[in-house]
Amino acid sequence: MKMNGKNIMGLAPEIIVIPKADQEYVFKAVPLLSYEKFEELCKVPTPPQITKRGGETFPDFDDKAYNEALNDWASKKNAWTVIQSLKATEGLEWESIVEGDPDTWTNYLNELKQDFVDAEISRILDIVYIANGMNQKKIDEATKRFLAIQGQEQKQ
């Protein structure tokens, strides 16, 4: 897709550099354009059906097992997003994560905790979330820049 004759640069990475001792660790996160692979590996849980008198059925969204499965699915989706987005980081290797095994994906946080403090982990995860969803502050800043340029063009 193009806008005004230019390709949309959707895969520009978000970058953070974390200094530790005499090293600098560069993390890059790119947006994910598809969740197809995730959806193949992790199906969305479906609630059990309740049958009323007369035979009418409807989903039981309050079922405890369903809600636990839904929470587990959401945790895996978040972990998958982090892992896939951080693939843009050169040389990053996970020791306990197997790409095709959803039960290993949430290990990413434990691996980060082995080498980084909470504040550093938060910054790493921030770039993932920014890359994959743009935060409101960035949208507001871009809108202000656009409107300022529009105002300058109208004065000319």
Mean pLDDT score, 23-50: 94
- Under the banding of pLDDT at 50, 70 and 90, the label for residue 153 is low
What tokens appear for 146 in the block? 């656009």
pTM of the full predicted structure?
0.80
**Cα–Cα nearest to 86, from 105, 67, 100, 72:** 105
**Could you give the CA distance from residue 43 to residue 27 in angstroms, rounded to a whole number?**
30
Residue whose tokens read 């974390």: 18
The domains of the chain are located at 2-148
Query: What's the confidence (pLDDT) of residue 154?
Result: 63
| Phi, psi angle pair for 20, to nearest 5° | -140, 120
| Phi, psi angle pair for 106, to nearest 5° | -70, -5
Cα angle 75, 76, 82; round to 5: 95
DSSP state at residue 23: E
The per-residue pLDDT for range 118-151, each reduced to its tens digit, is 999 999 999 999 998 766 777 787 788 878 887 7
